[in-house]
Amino acid sequence: MAGYNFGVIMDNFFGDNYAFSTGLLINTTGGKLKYGPTEIHETYKLKYIEIPLGLKLRSEDLRRINIYGRFGLSPQINIQAHNKSNKSISDEVRLFDLSYHLGGGVEYAINSKNAFMFGLLFNNGFTDITKHSGFEDKTILNRLTFEFGFIF
C-alpha cells in the first residue's frame, strides 16, 4: 500500500562530514493483513508521528554534489488507525512502534548554503504493531521511502 511522509529533518554537524540527524515527520502507511485460523483479512490505514534519530555521513563536495548515507532508529507514535471502510481500529493497533532506518542519497548544491536532496530510505520494524492475542504472528511495518527536499 502506498503512503507518504512529510516533515522536517535537521542535521547537526559535529565534524566536517558527520552529523546527528533528527526531525519530526508525519508518516502515513498501512497495508493488508491476513491473520488467524480463519484467515481474517484486514486493511490498515495508519498515521504516525515519527521522530527519527540517527547519524548522517556525507562525502566531500564533488562538483556541487555530495553523497550521503543515513542510519539510526525511528520511534513512532500512532495518531490514527482506520480500516478499509474508515472505521477506527485504534483498539487493534499499539500506540508505539520502533524501527531502524538505513539509506542514502545525493545533495545537489545550488549555491553556497542551499541544495536539493534526493534519497532512498528503508525502514524495518522491530516491534509488533497489533494487539492481537492468541496468534504467534508478528506484524511489523516495513517501508521503502523516496525522499526529496530542499536544504536551507
Of residues 28 and 35, which shows the higher confidence score?
Answer: 28
Domains and CATH numbers, the chain: 4-151 (2.40.160.20)
* Averaged pLDDT score across all residues of the chain: 91
Rg (CA), the chain: 18
CA atoms within 13 A on the CB side of 123: 24
Structure confidence by residue, pLDDT tens digits, 77-120 = 999 999 888 899 888 899 999 999 999 999 999 998 999 999 99
pTM of the model: 0.87
β-strand partners of 67: 106
Whether residue 23 contacts residue 10, with contact meaning beta carbons closer than 8 Å, is answered with yes
What is the C-alpha to C-alpha distance for residues 151 and 40, in angstroms, rounded to an integer?
Answer: 45
Label residue 66 by pLDDT band (50, 70, 90): very high
Give the residue among 115, 24, 26 at the shortest CA–CA distance from 66.
115
What is the C-alpha to C-alpha distance for residues 77 and 3, in angstroms, rounded to an integer?
Answer: 16
